Amino acid sequence: MAVTSDNVVWHSSSINREDREELLGQRGTLIWFTGLSGSGKSTIANALQERLYKKGKLTYVLDGDNIRHGLNGDLGFSLEDRKENIRRIGEVGKLFVDSGIITLGTFVSPLREDRLQVRNLLKQDFIEVYIKCSLETCEQRDPKNLYKKARNGEIKDFTGIDSPYEEPENPEIILETDVEDIDTCIDKIIEYLELKENTI
């Protein structure tokens, strides 16, 4: 983790988070989708984004692959790099939440301690959504042929094959995408957000 210099001072803005949220008519929140590759994280997040857009809500999807094309393009998939990947995303997510945006993060994020680090950073503005789907179903889907490559030894440290995935112990929402359709999943998230004061 980078060490901040004593000479770096946080610059406060004349327009604060509450001002931005009032303008947008929503509460900045980080909805964190975690689950195996192929479980449906990005599919669910994008469908949720469409539903919220129709409600007049401003959202943004932080997708794991997209982030690795730019901000985290220098990171590999070792345990150390995975931790740094999630740490950076947590900090980016915090900035998005401060801007008042409902932010949807789609990351395998296999380790509980890494997800807890982001939860502790965002506190009440963090919603963990566990996209629960069997490894067998994820392998059958295999939209990027990653499981096939991992089984053939072309990819090392692949989550679910030769690297562990630690299921969330107390997520706010669990979606079983191998038995529930997309609309049912989105309805569950919307219902949760409507009950969470001033989020949507």
pLDDT tens, residue by residue, 51-69: 999 999 999 999 888 888 8
pLDDT in tens, 86-127: 999 999 999 999 999 999 999 999 999 999 999 999 999 999
Structure token digits, residue 28? 């900045």
Considering the domain boundaries, does residue 12 fall inside one?
no
pLDDT in tens, 20-44: 999 999 999 999 999 999 999 999 9
Three-class secondary structure of residue 63 per DSSP:
strand
Considering the domain boundaries, does residue 58 fall inside one?
yes
Pinpoint the alpha helices (H) of the chain.
17-24, 41-54, 64-69, 79-98, 112-122, 135-141, 146-151, 182-195
- Kindly state the percentage of the chain with pLDDT values over 90: 77
Q: Residue 4: its pLDDT value, please?
A: 63
What is the separation of C-alpha 32 from the centre of its chain, rounded to a whole number of angstroms?
Answer: 3
40 is in an annotated binding site: yes
38 is in an annotated binding site: yes
User: Residue 125: which CATH number?
Assistant: 3.40.50.300
User: pTM score, two decimals?
Assistant: 0.91
39 is in an annotated binding site: yes
Considering the domain boundaries, does residue 7 fall inside one?
no
Q: How confident is the model at residue 8 (pLDDT cuts 50, 70, 90)?
A: confident
Considering the domain boundaries, does residue 70 fall inside one?
yes
Considering the domain boundaries, does residue 88 fall inside one?
yes
- Straight-line distance from the first to the last Cα atom of the chain, in angstroms, rounded to the nearest whole number: 34
Under DSSP, the state recorded for 178 is T
Burial class (CB in 10 A: 0-12, 13-18, 19+), 49: middle
Active site residues: 109
For residue 70, the enclosing domain spans 17-195
CB burial string 160-178: b at 16+ within 10 A, e below: bbebebeebeebebebebb
Instruction: Count the domains in the chain.
Output: 1
